A = this chain, B = another copy of it.
Amino acid sequence: MELQLVNERRRPAYAAQRLAEFAERCRAGGLAVTPQRIAIIKVLLDSAEHPRADAICAAVRKQHPHVSLATVHRTLETLCEIGEARKVTMLHDSARYDGNLTPHHHVVCIKCRCIRDIEIPQLDRILAGRSELGEFTVLGSSLEIHALCERCGAKAAKRATGGVGRSQRKQKSSK
């Protein structure tokens, strides 16, 4: 039974721990410890919902009614950058379509967002014949492997070894 829902009772202790370390982590990341940032990470740590920015903003405003939605967006992005939060998927900016119906998964470059198909028969085997997961009825799955593609990896390496630090933007197909 190597596939199960995470026990939600662990959350309060985990959240308390993380919150206690938060100010220190901000300083380590060169960030000011502002009341907004504290309020936002508190809401995030206490939630099991994997909330959107607007929901987090609404929750934060119960205590700090003045907080701006823009600040919530910025802060969440910042938290992800210093590794204090993550996004459920990094492919949330726009819909990406796939005509390949054979069971497969994807590698995604975290810089340029290029995507390639991969096969993981082992994974498919783990999930096959598994139709229940707690209160959920399983229908399918999709693994997203986070990676650096060759081009982006090369650029990162060059930058690190003293190459010209030319900044790079997310790849947008055709604009």
Contacts and interface: CB of A to CB of B under 8 A. Distances in A.
Interface of A: 2-6, 11, 14-15, 18, 41, 44-45, 47-56, 58, 76, 79-80, 83-89, 91-102, 104, 106-107, 109-110, 114-123, 126-127, 133-150, 153, 173-175
A77 B4 CA distance: 32
B110 A135 contact: no
A148 B138 CA distance: 7
A99 to B, nearest CB: 4
Given A44-B99, A87-B98, A122 B133 contact: no
16 contacts: A6-B119, A52-B95, A80-B97, A84-B101, A87-B95, A88-B98, A89-B96, A89-B144, A91-B91, A91-B92, A92-B92, A107-B133, A136-B145, A139-B146, A143-B144, A144-B144
A116 B173 contact: no
- Per assembly, the copies of the chain total 2
B88 A96 contact: yes
The dominant DSSP class at the A interface is mixed
A5 B108 CA distance: 12
B85 A99 contact: yes
A138 B142 contact: no
B141 A143 contact: yes
Contact of A92 (B89, B101, B137): B89
By CB atoms of chain B within 10 A, which of A48, A53, A83, A143 has the most?
Answer: A143
B118 A4 contact: yes
A87 B95 CA distance: 7
Contact of A2 (B2, B122, B140, B173): B122
A146 B76 CA distance: 25
B120 A5 contact: no
